[in-house]
Amino acid sequence: MELKRVVVTGLGAVTPLGIGVEETWKSLINGVSGAGSITLFDASLFKTQFACEIKGFDPTKYLEKKEARKFDRYAQLAVAAAKEAIEDTDVDLESADKDRIGVIFASGIGGIRSFEDEMCEYDPEKGPRFSPFFIPKMIADIAAGHISMMYGFHGPNFATVSACASSTNAVIDAFNYVRLGMADMIVTGGAEAPVSVAGVGGFNAMHALSTRNDDPQRASRPFSASRDGFVMGEGAAALVLESLEHAQARGAKIYAEVIGGGLSADAYHLTATHPEGLGAMLVMKNALADAGINPEDVDYINVHGTSTPVGDLSEIKAIKKVFGEHAYKLNISSTKSMTGHLLGAAGATEAMICVKAVENDIVPPTINFTEGDEDPEIDYKLNFTFNKAQKRTVNVALSNTFGFGGHNASVIVKKFSK
C-alpha cells in the first residue's frame, strides 16, 4: 500500500502569549513570557501563586452565550483554536466531503474546572443535585465531539489522553489516518485549562511547580541550575492535516509537510523520566526511522524542556546520544520558558511552533538563562538558543513531548517541496 504524503494547511492557537497564531508567534520570537499572578481563582494560600493564563479570551466570539455556558473552559479554547485553523485552510465546507474530514483532539485532564465546580456545590445532606451538563463538560473527548458537531465532520472522531504527550499523540494519529487514506483531512490538536484549585493544588503537592512567586516571568528557566519546576499554563492549538493530493486539488496553501512520528514508553516511574533518557532516545529514533531521515537532517528540536531538575537533564542526554556530533549543529529551544507548560495542549502548540519555524526560518528562544546559572551536568556547547531568537535555515524540525506515566511522543515536520 502506497502511503499518502501529509501536509499542514491550517493553524490555530489560543495561548498565554496571544489569541491567534500570529500574535502567539510574534511573542515567541520576541522572547515574551506569558507568566503572571493567577487571576482565575484566589491562589493566595497556595505554594505557587502564578501561572501562564490566557489574557482577554472571550468565548462568546466563538460560541453563542447560552452555548458557551455548556462548555468547560478547555473545550471553549479547543473550539477557538480549531475555528482559526479551519478558516485558515480556506476550504469550501459547502462542497467538501465531510465524511472524509475528521477530528482528533486531545486533552490530558479535560474539564477539571467543571468537576471542581460541581463537587464544591455538592452537599451530602441534601442529596445529589448535579447539572445535566456536568459529565459532557468534564470528559476529555468532548472537545473533539464539539468541533465535529459544529462543522458536521463525519470522519474519524476521538480524543487521545497520554498526559503531557496527549496532543502529540493526536497529531501522530491524524498523520497516520491521512497517510493511510482513511481521511482526506483531520483537524487535530489539544486543549487544556488546568489553572484551577485542583490543578495547581495537585501539582504543588507533587512538588512539580516552580514556587518563584516573587518573579513569575523568570520562573520557567529550562537548562538553568536554579530551575525549580514547571510553570503551569492553559491554552489550545490546532493543526489541519491533509493529504497532499487533496490539498493540491483545491489549491490550498501548504505550511509544511509532516514526515514522521515516534512513540515509546519509559516504563520506569510514575512521574519521572528515565534519568539516562532511554525512553526519550527511543522515541526520537523511532520518529527518525518513520520519517526515513538521518539525525543529520534535523535542524531544530523543540524540546519538552519543562524546567524541572531531572527532566531537562535526561532529555539533553538523550539528544546527545541520538544525534552525536550533529547535536552541536542543531538549534534546541524550550518554548515552555514563554508559554508555560500547557500539559495536554503542549504537544500541538509546539508542533505548531515547529511548523512556523520551518515556514519562517526562525528558531524561537529559550528565555530566562543568565550567566553564572550553569548546571555542571549540562553541556553548554549545545545551542540552546538562549534569550534571543535565531535566524537559520530550518528544513526539518522535531518536537518532543513526554508525559506522566512514561508516555513519549515525537513528531517531525519539514519544508514542503513538490
Say whether pLDDT at 198 is over 90: yes
The model's pLDDT over 134-190, given as tens digits with 9 standing for 90+, comes to: 899 999 999 999 999 999 999 999 999 999 999 999 999 999 999 999 999 999 999
Between CA 162 and CA 362 the distance in angstroms is 30
Between CA 418 and CA 407 the distance in angstroms is 34
The mean pLDDT of 392-417, rounded to a whole number, is 97
Say whether pLDDT at 121 is over 80: no
In a domain, 178, yes or no: yes
The model's pLDDT over 266-283, given as tens digits with 9 standing for 90+, comes to: 999 988 888 888 999 999
The model's pLDDT over 123-137, given as tens digits with 9 standing for 90+, comes to: 777 777 788 888 999
The per-residue pLDDT of the chain, averaged, comes to 96
In a domain, 1, yes or no: no
304 is catalytic: yes
In a domain, 255, yes or no: no
Domain boundary among 249, 275, 294: 249
SS3 content of the chain, % helix, strand, coil (to 5): 35, 20, 40
Of 146, 304, 354, 407, the active-site residue reads 304
The reply to whether 239 and 284 lie within a common domain is no
For residue 120, the model assigns a pLDDT of 75
> Which H helix or E strand runs over 358?
helix 346-360
Between CA 350 and CA 301 the distance in angstroms is 10
343-352: b (≥16 Cβ within 10 Å) or e = bbbbbbbbbb
For residue 236, the model assigns a pLDDT of 98
Angle between the N-to-C axes of helices 73-89 and 112-121, in degrees from 0 to 180, rounded to the nearest 10:
150
For residue 1, the model assigns a pLDDT of 76
In a domain, 256, yes or no: no
The model's pLDDT over 332-371, given as tens digits with 9 standing for 90+, comes to: 999 999 999 999 999 999 999 999 999 999 999 999 999 9
Domain boundary among 190, 224, 249: 249
Q: First-to-last CA distance in the chain?
A: 21
Domain boundary among 189, 219, 249: 249
Burial class (CB in 10 A: 0-12, 13-18, 19+), 120: exposed
For residue 340, the model assigns a pLDDT of 98
Q: Among candidates 188, 25, 181, 203, which has minimal Cα distance to 112?
A: 203
The model's pLDDT over 67-92, given as tens digits with 9 standing for 90+, comes to: 999 999 999 999 999 999 999 999 99
Of 146, 246, 274, 341, the active-site residue reads 341
CATH code of residue 292 = 3.40.47.10
What cell was used for 51? 501561572
In a domain, 257, yes or no: no
pLDDT bin (cut points 50, 70, 90) of residue 418 is confident
Of the listed ranges 51-55, 105-109, 266-270, the least confidently predicted one is 266-270
Q: Which domain holds residue 189?
A: 7-249
The mean pLDDT of 33-48, rounded to a whole number, is 98
In the chain, % of residues over pLDDT 70: 100
Of the listed ranges 109-123, 260-274, 374-388, the least confidently predicted one is 109-123
246 is catalytic: no
For residue 127, the model assigns a pLDDT of 74
In a domain, 88, yes or no: yes
pTM of the model: 0.97
The mean pLDDT of 294-308, rounded to a whole number, is 97
Of 52, 146, 164, 246, the active-site residue reads 164
